[in-house]
Structure 1
């Protein structure tokens, strides 16, 4: 019986990864259509574009540690290890916005400007969705959200950071947020398989994880599309 359960759980995890891979491919296609990313890919990025990107990302990153902490508070004692993972993740994320602020100031912006900027339209939608999901009992579908957001760090951040550095003639300390995440977010993704194996029990769970990933991908792209549109 145990062998059958383990085999079934493995099939569900594999199905989740297939769905997440498709969601990621769709997300990459959406990113390619975002104006600021198109400018970056074509070598046309300006320092003002980079400052706008940092300013708009900061507001969502501030919320990142908060929604992860809220998710942890809604995980029951039967899933203690997942709750611990969420709590540790919240701790590692909750100061990331300070790197963005430092990069913004190092590129000619001011602390007052970046801290006073409101969320853009896409950031509002993304943040609202994340807190909504995090407030549900055992919000394990957020593993799909983490796959997408951490995937940005591990698969895109170094590429973007290097391109921004080259195009704008910047130093590492001016693009440290992206370079840091490119080096560290692989650690989070390595844990995903283990946590999916602990939380997906049927096809409905798989669909919830993948659907959450797809929604987060679309809203994240919307956030980048709506730079400074508040």
Structure 2
């Protein structure tokens, strides 16, 4: 458990001349270490997680997921015509994700949660920080650095969501319709990650933008982990 202090994201240890891919891989490695220290994920790995834990996780994630499509849409509106490809990609992404929270709500109700209470919920401390950062960044002119945020958020779905779903099912005996949100994001986020990788390797991201992408990835990794650490606060 952390001491509650939000520390500066550590600079990844990378060699001189590292590619953007190498730098993001180092950020991801740091993120994995943060996730390993999150109490609910530690209990999930140990097999001591409870149904109440799962309900709390869905409750807290929903408040942040609702904001996903709106900040992506804001980012799309912040790109000028010289960044048309990024604007178009953001518009497509926002359209694909704007109903995601409904899947999460169905899962929450399927494990005994109250839809009314879920919709009346508020963001936890980490979610407030994450959402505030994302909307602020998305409002900047040509927010190319948000590719780093997508690297973390979409990467989490593509790399971890299915394993979490399977483990929750194994420990708690949950049915497929109770973990649909996580199961769905394994495939959906893998597709989004592929689209993002194509952009990162397309030449649209110059050296200065690469620094922004890496920095945004660092910050979002820390804030996403904080969101999972601060359930119920």
Output the TM-score relative to the length of structure 2: 0.90
- Distance in 2 of aligned mates of 1:64 and 1:221: 16
**Where does residue 98 of structure 2 map in the other structure?**
94
Query: 1:8: which partner in 2?
Result: none
Report SS of the residue matched to 2:79: coil
Q: Distance in 2 between matches of 1:186 and 1:164?
A: 21
Alignment partners' CA distance in 1, 2:104 and 2:62: 6
Alignment partner of 1:53 out of 50, 57, 73: 57
Per-residue deviation at 1:193?
Answer: 2.9
How far apart are residue 95 of structure 1 and its match?
A: 0.6
How far is the alpha carbon of 1:194 from its aligned partner? 2.6
Give the counterpart of 2:205 among 186, 200, 206.
Answer: 200
1:149-160 equivalences under 5 Å are 149-160=153-164
Shift of 1:41: 0.5
> What's 1:105 paired with?
109
Q: Is the aligned partner of 1:132 residue 2:101?
A: no
Check if 1:23 corresponds to 2:39. no
Shift in Å, 1:112: 0.7
* CA deviations over 1:198-225 (Å, ceiling 9, x no partner): 43222x2211100100100000000000
Question: Once the two structures are superposed, what CA deviation does each residue of 1:92-142 show, in whole Å capped at 9, x if it has no partner?
Answer: 111111111100000000101111110000000000000111001111100
1:115-126 matches, cutoff 5 A: 115-126=119-130
Partner of 2:146: 142
Q: Which structure 2 segments of 5+ residues have no match?
A: 1-17
RMSD: 1.2
Unpaired segments of 5 or more residues in structure 1? 1-13
Partners of 1:25 and 1:72 in 2: CA distance: 29
The SS at the match of 1:200 is coil
Q: Tell me the distance in 2 between the aligned counterparts of 1:199 and 1:117.
A: 39
Name the residue aligned to 2:225: 221
**Count of residues in correspondence between the two structures:** 216
